[in-house]
Structure 1
């Protein structure tokens, strides 16, 4: 019983973080709505685009963490194993990052 309660609390905390990150994304979008070629510099437009890309990726990472927590709690179906492999993310032409999505406990290497 305690494990189910801990899983539920974990899902709630991740969902709150996801909500907050969506709000940040909306604020960035609002800020970008006022940008145009006439009233902004290329650097400002590039910064806006990069901020939006980073925030969107952060949301995707939290969504995968939320899904893994839901699978652990028995509220969601496990995805195909290929969904949990390391991915490459290129937010700009200069940067490239690799990240591994959160995995449910049943797919953990220790399991």
Structure 2
């Protein structure tokens, strides 16, 4: 499980939820560049991706992951682009809501 979130407290919360649910964390990243670099040599099984990373849209990373066949869940505090087959959750999210969404992938 890869987590891409620029807000440290939210990232820590997501890591805690996923570890509590039994998922291994592939990595935690806070920018598009870091996420792209982190997936250069290997790919995660699933990505939780914030849509806005420090004022930068995460679309390049989303496109990269989808092109590689990696399932992505977008987590955002904003209304944004809807992608077919890419679940979108609005912040704040609950662990139950997140796990339910992940199970559908």
TM class by shorter-chain length? under 0.3
TM-score by length of 1: 0.27
More helix by percentage: 1
TM-score by length of 2: 0.28
Q: Taking CA–CA contacts closer than 8 Å with sequence separation of 6 or more, which of the two structures ends up with the larger relative contact order?
A: 1
Higher-Rg member (1/2): 1
More strand by percentage: 2
